Structure 1
Amino acid sequence: MNLLFESKRIAALLTVVPANEQSFIDDMKAFDFPEARSRKLMEVMGYDRHRLVSPGTCVSDLAVFGFEHLFDKHGLERDSLDALILVTQTPDYLMPPTSSIIQGRLGLKQDMFCVDINQGCAGFVIGLMQAFMLLDQKHIQRVALVNADVISRKTSPRDRNSYPLVGDAASITVVEKASAAGTTHANVKFDGTRHGALMIPAGGMRMPSSAATAELSDAGDHNFRALDHLTMEGSDVFTFVQTEVPPMIASLCDDAGVSKEQIEWFLFHQPNRFMLQKLADKIGIPHAKVPMNVVEKYGNSSGVTIPMAIVENLSEVLNDREALVCLAGFGVGLTWASMLMRLGRLDVCEMVQYA
């Protein structure tokens, strides 16, 4: 599905990472895995360290911390927010919506729109689409998009295929109407027939959490996880990305009448460096145009890796000027989405630590 948005801009971008940092090598010492092989894996996949929340820290905690920073340090006015979108796979509760909790904790006005969206790796792009749609309403001038996950709390520490790689983080994106912003092109696709490639089997109504779903079992190759934990079919996900994402980017460029060479940066979700290198080669774009260092420094924080890539690599550039960029997220669902937009002259482009 192709989408068009007119006169919308990203005004501010803040990312929040936990202060707690763990190294890949230290994590791998907990497994029966040779250190030489761990270091080879680091080199090939681009792993080094990741950020993890402390026990009990929730998505609303990261979001409230980030908003208070924007209010106190950057002068964002609480009453200027007309809508709050939260994209997360790890809500504080099954009910009520975590967006309502954030709105209440911050003391935001009641005359606003709040909604949770259950999305993962493509969540930042899908959240932007929803924010842009809301901005088409007469009485909505400014939307706050929160993308946050504490996925480490749903990952088995004894699963070396997942735990050393995941990261926790949040982003807050302020989106507003802007008559000079021009056209943003986007597209999105879903394939629920492949939903089993990335999932947490237990915890919903289909399979409620219980003592049985919390019991660890050997998932193969001495990786232990429970049905309450994240499970991923790595080869299926890799094939999906290499097969589906390149034609999506080609379709986006065709629809916008833009060549790949005209795009300054490709800001993709970052599962690992190896996958991104192969994806760049498949699309036919230079590796230098695809930032790949987020998973190396912070871990895979699902859709938040896209705004983290922006803040980590482009903050100085985008504070001064605009650039034509392509955003793309792909993963759980299975879902894949992309967006072509002019990004820059941001009021805020910053990362802060949550202690």
Structure 2
Amino acid sequence: MAQARIPGIRVAGVSTCVPARRIDNLAEGERYGADEVRKVVSMAGVRQRHVVDEGTTAADLCRDAAERLLTRLGWERDSVTGLLFVTQSPDYFLPSTACVLHAWLGLSDRCAAFDLGLGCSGYPYGLYVAAAMLRAGGHQRILMLHGETPSRFTDPADHATTLLFGDAGSATALETGDDEAAFCLHTDGAGREGLIIRGGAFRDRHPADPRHLALEMDGAAIFNFTIKRVPPLVADTLALAGKSVDDVDQYVFHQSNRFIMKHLAKKCGLPEARVPMTIEDTANCGGPSVAVTLTRMLDSTHDRTVMLLGYGVGLSWGSALLPIRAGTPLLHGELAALEASA
């Protein structure tokens, strides 16, 4: 089992960014049918989605989040020795989008930069890699960026996906410190077809069926996977960290679906007040939804212990349990339409 307790780290700040463009799902009744739209709003909980304009990418959202965070922290660019970009919405097949972001952010050539190809579970996985790099030595400060633009790979004719997903980017700053994080990470690749884009990459570069260039989702399979896998993940993470349910101030779930999250909270015995949700007005924006919920809902005026939970495409699921110290910057903002980044 992939479990680890990693000491000697500290979350210095988190920043998130969503597009300024908003779409009200209830206004989509003529397009998808009023009954279907109401069903998505009432069950999944998505009333409003933030969606990028053509030409805006996950990297643009993460760049904005990172710039605001670096400015707030006052970090010198040369002090950042690691840059991770977690995404399944890259700007290019090659080079790694992390290299593009490295240039945009003006980081030193002594900074390691690379992409991690993960989606819904990406936030805890990215934190794990960053924490492990800090613990291994040679790094003092790392930026972990996690961004997705699911709106760019949904089929507009498929209301089950189009009405569910929004876009977001995040930047998390980690450095050496006195805190410890506990991680549990899992994979079940046999379930990979539950969420998949079949075409466009090198398995099927130019699919005969253009629908294979869009996201396909087996909703029932993903629901069953989540209900089966996430409750043991919560229990295992608490056991690894030596904590009880009441020791954790907030359980921040990937904002997959309101009905699913409420079901999970009940099954795990979690107080509803400790399970914040942002899905109503920022939709399911993939893995970055964990960071978006953290920045929008966590009160950082006092020390808080949080469990961060990601689960979905892969199939992949993971957790991170760690402290967020009082005064830690938690920033959230919107990105206006912008010219394509050079």
Length-normalised TM-score, structure 2: 0.94
CA contact (8 A) 1:125 1:328 kept: yes
For structure 1, which runs of at least 5 residues remain unmatched after alignment? 215-225
Match of 1:42 in 2: 41
Alignment map for 1:156-175 (pairs within 5 Å): 156-175=155-174
CA gap of 1:23–1:141, structure 2 versus 1, over 3 A, is same
3-state SS in 2 of match to 1:29: helix
Q: Would the alpha carbon gap of residues 13 and 230 (structure 1) be closer, same or farther in structure 2, given more than 3 Å must change?
A: same
Aligned residue runs from structure 1 range 144-223, under 5 A: 144-179=143-178, 181=179, 183-210=180-207, 212-214=208-210
Partner of 2:304: 323
Which residue in 2 is equivalent to 1:18? Answer: 19
Structure 2 CA distance for partners of 1:57 and 1:78, relative to 1, 3 Å: same
Shift of 1:53: 0.3
List per-residue Cα deviations over 1:119-151 (Å, max 9, x = no partner): 011100000000001102332100000000111
Q: How much does 1:40 deviate?
A: 4.4
Match of 1:263 in 2: 248
- Where does residue 219 of structure 1 map in the other structure? none
Distance 1:13 1:54, change over 3 A: same
How far 1:193 sits from its partner (Å)? 0.6
Q: Secondary structure at the match of 2:161?
A: coil
Percent identity between matched residues is 31
**CA-CA distance at 1:327 after TM superposition:** 1.1
CA contact (8 A) 2:142 2:175 kept: yes
| CA apart distance, 1:37 | 5.0
Rounded to whole Å, the distance in 2 between the matches of 1:144 and 1:286 is 32
Q: CA RMSD in A?
A: 1.4
Structure-1 residue corresponding to 2:279: 295
The answer on whether the counterparts of 2:9 and 2:135 sit within 8 Å (CA) in structure 1 is: no
Aligned match of 1:251 in 236, 239, 242?
236
What SS does the corresponding residue of 1:38 show, helix, strand or coil?
helix
Q: What is the SS of the residue equivalent to 2:95?
A: coil
Residues 95-104 or 201-210, more deviating: 201-210
Which stretch of structure 1 is more off in the superposition, 127-136 or 75-84? Answer: 75-84
What SS class does the counterpart of residue 229 from structure 2 fall into? helix
Give the letter for the 1:295 counterpart.
Answer: I
2:296 paired with 1:312? yes
CA distance in 2, matches of 1:2, 1:301: 26
- State the distance in 2 between where 1:12 and 1:253 align: 24
Instruction: Tell me, in whole angstroms, the C-alpha distance in 1 between the residues paired with 2:165 and 2:196.
Output: 14
Deviates more, 1:129-138 or 1:74-83: 74-83
Alignment of 1:335 with 2:319, yes or no, is no
Q: Which amino acid aligns with 1:284?
A: G
Relative to structure 1, is the Cα distance of residues 341 and 154 closer, same or farther in structure 2, using a 3 angstrom cutoff? Answer: same
1:258 deviates by 1.1
The alpha-carbon deviation at position 39 of structure 1 amounts to 2.6
Unaligned runs of 5+ in 2: 337-342
CA offsets per residue over residues 224-277 of structure 1, 9 Å max, x none?
xx1000111001001001001111111111222211122111111011110000
Q: Classify the secondary structure of the residue corresponding to 1:327.
A: strand
Encode CA deviations 1:90-137: one digit per residue, 9 max, x unaligned: 100001000001111222110111110000111000000000011023
**Which residue of 2 is the match for residue 217 of structure 1?**
none
Correspondence for 1:276: 261
State how far apart, in whole Å, the 1-side matches of 2:171 and 2:327 are: 13
Q: Distance in 2 between matches of 1:4 and 1:10?
A: 15
Q: CA deviation at 1:63?
A: 2.2
Equivalent in the alignment of 1:6: 7
Greater Cα offset, 81-90 or 200-209: 200-209
Aligned residues: 335
User: How far 1:284 sits from its partner (Å)?
Assistant: 1.2
Q: How does 1:59-78 map to 2 (within 5 A)?
A: 59-78=58-77
Cα–Cα, structure 1 residues 43 and 335, in superposed 2: closer, same or farther, change >3 Å? same
**Quick check: 59-68 or 321-330, which moved more?**
59-68
Provide the C-alpha distance between the structure 2 equivalents of 1:14 and 1:26, rounded to a whole number of angstroms.
Answer: 30
Contact persistence 1:121–1:332 (CA under 8 A): yes
Distance 1:290 1:102 in 2: 33
